[in-house]
DNA sequence: TGAATAGGTTCATTATTTGAACCATATATA
DNA sequence: TATATATGGTTCAAATAATGAACCTATTCA
């Protein structure tokens, strides 16, 4: 064995196009910010090499991005382990957002009331842009169910729009670009029941619009059924949704209609409290079905 | 008057160096992220031209940065007013951070207890990197004071290290780079009493280390006095501080010693609950003075 | 009506990002 | 004791992606 040639080779045509895993091109800012998305309840700390593997990007690039995020307070590095975790700056931003637009606070009360009423997991999520597409970010959840079986839920988890009831509500009642961008991306499969066909998804969205609520049957997690309705903050397009999720074994027609009626009432209340209102054409569907 | 020459001039030597207001060079990522810092309780929404003025950067650049932040969910644009506000992604990040490192939750209990005891404003802040320097980000505060005069406090406000008791505790007991970077920057003046001289600041830091607590007298806000002590999460350097702030009229020697003793106890409790401990040399000062 | 303000876009130019190779250190392995 | 492997981190020429002055468009306001 001999040492590698210590003469630096000239830069050949080796530079890759700046792309993500899925082939999307993106700017430096988006690339750096996407690093933050790898943190979750189960992955609270990430090291440099780990990031390199997760992102598929060059180590030097990742390192520079981590350092810049750290300098701005969005990351903190553990001096001992050298691993990175989310920094204190994110706490401040969330605080400002919640102080000035207290969506969580407002939604929380209604979710709580609803959860006490239906005795199943109730959660609310906001629609937001996320790396060339859209996702649902849970902002609160309650489960006052007294049953043995419970649906696991984490506020730190991002919900895909095409596989969850929450997301379908967003696709059907949110701004058109949500559906548009979703249809340009590959639909990831989570279970056997996940709809990954685009035409099938369009049909589900149409059905959701007709019904006035969305429903999924084990399309994201096995054994979990869910129904959801949109809420409105401003304008004629939904900004979030409330959902009820429960074990498939407890879902039936009667229960579903009870859930949907309760969701409609809650969504109307939330929309009002957020300073918005359910648009006429949606309200009509809700009224005539209730 | 005639129309401007419609022939595009070649790019002359007009391109500035990438700098901030204060003359620091910074990368694209830091520049983009710094946009988020302009949001606060009193400035919840900002338009493009407003950003241009605030940052002193070119409109096209700002616009691109805003769009990238929006695409990642860190900003949302109001379709009607075109103004930008903090996006839902920041809520998720804060949620993950707090779920996995529940500093706020842990500190909150102790702050609450202390606030009930001293009946003055108590607040806790975390030290973090922020655009080539360090700042204190409040994470919780309580005021059970029954007095007519109260100190105003906002969790959304960033505290400077050189002008607040919280910050002085960080300078004295945090990682050395806090003091180092602070001394390389210009010290902003907030009141007549603000220490803007670097040697004077070094003296204050030394005094703080000797005393085992920091104190300020109207150096950040007129009529407000404050004392603070550090807490430790990991290692021998402070990661945050707890402070008591009150109207100058109510501050006196006896009150101060009462506050400091209470702060020391609380800081020890917090440090322990955070999985850290007050380093020996600091604990000795606290013990011998108490 | 037209001046002012706002949001947003274009494209030649170049400053900034990029990545293969490199180093340093720590731990594991033969 | 060598040596292999893993980690975090750095370098610098090359190449790309960020930049900004001018430009466009829509609204507001006098």
Separation between Cα atoms, residue A233 and residue A213, nearest integer Å: 18
Nucleotide minimizing C1' to CA distance for residue B10? C12
Average pLDDT of chain B, as a whole number: 92
Separation between Cα atoms, residue B64 and residue A128, nearest integer Å: 18
The per-residue pLDDT for range B69-84, each reduced to its tens digit, is 999 999 999 999 999 9
Q: Who has greater pLDDT, A8 or A26?
A: A26
pLDDT reading at B155 higher than 50: yes
B46 contact residues in A (CB cutoff 8 A):
none
Residue with tokens 């609950």: B273
Q: State the average pLDDT over residues A52-76.
A: 97
What is the distance in angstroms between the Cα of B35 and the nearest Cα belonging to chain A? Answer: 11
> What is the C-alpha R_g of chain B?
22
What is the distance in angstroms between the Cα of B90 and the nearest Cα belonging to chain A? Answer: 5
The per-residue pLDDT for range B28-41, each reduced to its tens digit, is 999 999 999 999 99
Nearest in space to B221 (alpha carbons), one of B133, B149, B278: B149
Where does the pLDDT of residue A290 fall: very low under 50, low under 70, confident under 90, or very high at 90 and above? confident
pLDDT reading at B283 higher than 90: yes
According to the model, what pLDDT value does residue B171 have? Answer: 98
| Number of A–B residue contacts, CB under 8 Å | 187
Q: Is residue A80's beta carbon less than 7 angstroms from any atom in nucleic acid strand D?
A: no
Task: Please indicate if any CB of chain A lies within 8 Å of the CB of B40.
Answer: yes
Task: Please indicate if any CB of chain B lies within 8 Å of the CB of A81.
Answer: no
According to the model, what pLDDT value does residue A19 have? Answer: 42
Q: State the average pLDDT over residues B130-144.
A: 96
According to the model, what pLDDT value does residue B25 have? Answer: 66
Q: Give the best residue of B43, B67, B76, B89 to mutate against chain A (max A CB count within 10 A).
A: B89
CB-closest option in A44, A138, A235 to B79:
A235
The DSSP code for A249 is G
According to the model, what pLDDT value does residue A25 have? Answer: 66
Nucleotide minimizing C1' to CA distance for residue A15? C19
- Please check whether residue B201 is in contact with residue B209, taking contact to mean a CB–CB distance below 8 angstroms: no
Least confident of A26-30, A226-230, B99-103: A26-30
According to the model, what pLDDT value does residue B147 have? Answer: 83
Q: Which residue is nearest to nucleotide C13 (CA to C1')?
A: B11
A234 contact residues in B (CB cutoff 8 A):
78, 80
Average pLDDT of chain A, as a whole number: 92
Q: State the average pLDDT over residues A71-83.
A: 96
Q: Which nucleotides of D are covered by protein (CB under 7 A)?
A: 4, 6-24
Non-local (6+) Cβ contacts of A113 within 8 A are A266
Separation between Cα atoms, residue A290 and residue A284, nearest integer Å: 10
Q: Is residue B83's beta carbon less than 7 angstroms from any atom in nucleic acid strand C?
A: yes
The per-residue pLDDT for range A16-51, each reduced to its tens digit, is 444 444 445 689 999 999 999 999 999 999 999 999
- Please check whether residue B119 is in contact with residue A78, taking contact to mean a CB–CB distance below 8 angstroms: no
Non-local (6+) Cβ contacts of B50 within 8 A are none
Q: State the average pLDDT over residues A220-237.
A: 97
The per-residue pLDDT for range A130-182, each reduced to its tens digit, is 998 999 999 999 999 988 899 999 999 999 999 999 999 999 999 999 999 99
A101 contact residues in B (CB cutoff 8 A):
44, 85-86
| C-alpha torsion sign, points A207, A174, A135, A267 | negative
- Please check whether residue B290 is in contact with residue B264, taking contact to mean a CB–CB distance below 8 angstroms: yes
pLDDT reading at A60 higher than 60: yes
The answer for B 202-221 residues in CB contact with A (under 8 A) is none
CB-closest option in A39, A40, A71 to B132:
A71
Task: Please indicate if any CB of chain A lies within 8 Å of the CB of B92.
Answer: yes
What is the distance in angstroms between the Cα of A192 and the nearest Cα belonging to chain B? Answer: 28
Spell out where B145-217 has E strands: 159-160, 214-217
Q: Is residue B85's beta carbon less than 7 angstroms from any atom in nucleic acid strand C?
A: no
Q: Is B245 helix (H, G, I), strand (E, B) or coil?
A: strand
Residue with tokens 């920057």: B185
Q: State the average pLDDT over residues A264-275.
A: 98
The per-residue pLDDT for range B60-69, each reduced to its tens digit, is 999 999 999 9
The model carries a pTM of 0.93
Q: State the average pLDDT over residues A258-275.
A: 98
Separation between Cα atoms, residue B43 and residue B156, nearest integer Å: 11
Q: State the average pLDDT over residues B209-226.
A: 98
The DSSP code for A250 is G
Cα distances (Å, whole numbers) of residue A60 to A51, A66, A102, A121: 11, 10, 39, 44
CB-closest option in A85, A93, A156 to B86:
A93
What's the Å distance between residue B17 CA and nucleotide C15 C1'? 9
Where does the pLDDT of residue B148 fall: very low under 50, low under 70, confident under 90, or very high at 90 and above? confident
Q: State the average pLDDT over residues A193-198.
A: 98
Q: State the average pLDDT over residues B207-228.
A: 98
**Helical spans, DSSP H, in chain A:** 28-36, 48-55, 59-71, 89-100, 103-118, 165-173, 176-184, 198-211, 253-273, 280-289
According to the model, what pLDDT value does residue B179 have? Answer: 97
pLDDT reading at B10 higher than 60: no
Q: Do B92 and A156 count as a contact with CB atoms less than 8 A apart? A: yes
The per-residue pLDDT for range A93-121, each reduced to its tens digit, is 999 999 999 999 999 999 999 999 999 99
- Strand C contacts (CB < 7 A) among B residues 21-60? 25, 27-29, 47-50, 59-60
Cα distances (Å, whole numbers) of residue A288 to A4, A187, A212, A261, A281: 76, 33, 10, 11, 11
- Please check whether residue A220 is in contact with residue A160, taking contact to mean a CB–CB distance below 8 angstroms: yes
Closest residue, chain B, to A128 (C-alpha): B73
């Amino acid at each position: 064995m001999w040492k590698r040639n210590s003469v630096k080779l000239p830069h050949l045509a080796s530079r890759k196009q700046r792309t993500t895993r899925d082939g999307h091109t993106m700017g430096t800012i988006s690339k750096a910010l996407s690093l933050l998305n790898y943190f979750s309840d189960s992955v609270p700390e990430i090291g440099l090499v780990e990031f390199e593997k997760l992102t598929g990007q060059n180590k030097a690039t990742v390192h520079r991005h981590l350092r810049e995020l750290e300098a701005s307070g969005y990351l903190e590095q553990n001096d001992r382990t050298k691993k990175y975790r989310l920094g204190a700056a994110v706490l401040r931003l969330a605080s400002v957002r919640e102080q000035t637009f207290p969506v969580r606070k407002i939604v929380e009360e209604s979710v709580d009331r609803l959860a006490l009423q239906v005795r199943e997991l109730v959660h609310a999520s906001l629609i937001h842009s996320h790396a060339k597409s859209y996702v649902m970010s849970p902002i609160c959840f309650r489960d006052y169910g007294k049953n043995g079986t419970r649906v696991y839920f984490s506020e730190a988890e991002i919900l895909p729009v095409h596989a969850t009831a929450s997301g379908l509500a967003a696709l059907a009642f949110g701004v058109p670009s949500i559906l548009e961008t979703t249809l340009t991306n590959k639909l990831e499969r989570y279970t056997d029941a996940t709809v990954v066909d685009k035409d099938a998804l369009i049909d589900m969205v149409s059905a959701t619009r007709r019904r006035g609520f969305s429903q999924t049957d084990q399309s994201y997690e096995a054994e979990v059924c869910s129904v959801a309705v949109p809420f409105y903050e401003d304008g004629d397009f939904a900004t979030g949704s409330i959902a009820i999720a429960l074990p498939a074994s407890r879902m039936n027609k009667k229960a579903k209609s009870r859930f949907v009626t309760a969701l409609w009432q809650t969504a109307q209340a939330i929309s009002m409290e957020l300073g918005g209102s359910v648009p006429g054409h949606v309200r009509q569907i809700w009224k005539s079905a209730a």
